[in-house]
Amino acid sequence: MRGFEKHLNEFHQHGIEVAAISVDSPQESNHLCQSRGYTYPFLSDPNAEVIRGYGILHAKAGENGRDIARPAEFFVDSAGVIRWVNLTDDLRIRARPEAALDVILRQIGG
C-alpha 38/C-alpha 52 separation (Å) is 25
Asked whether residue 94 is domain-assigned, the answer is yes
The CA–CA distances, whole Å, from 64 to 18, 76, 89 equal: 29, 32, 19
Asked whether residue 20 is domain-assigned, the answer is yes
At residue 66, what is the residue type? Answer: R
Q: Tell me, what's the pLDDT at 103?
A: 85
By residue range, what is the domain housing residue 80?
2-103
Residues 6 or more apart from 66 whose CB is under 8 A from it? Answer: 23, 60
pLDDT tens-digit series, residues 74-92: 988 888 888 888 887 776 7
Asked whether residue 110 is domain-assigned, the answer is no
The CA–CA distances, whole Å, from 74 to 33, 96, 104 equal: 20, 13, 10
Q: Tell me, what's the pLDDT at 92?
A: 74
Number of folded domains in the chain? 1
Q: Which CATH number does the domain housing residue 54 bear?
A: 3.40.30.10
Cα–Cα–Cα angle for 105, 107, 110, nearest 5°?
Answer: 35
Asked whether residue 50 is domain-assigned, the answer is yes
Claim: this prediction has a pTM higher than 0.75: yes
pLDDT tens-digit series, residues 20-71: 999 999 999 999 999 999 999 999 999 999 999 999 998 888 888 888 888 8
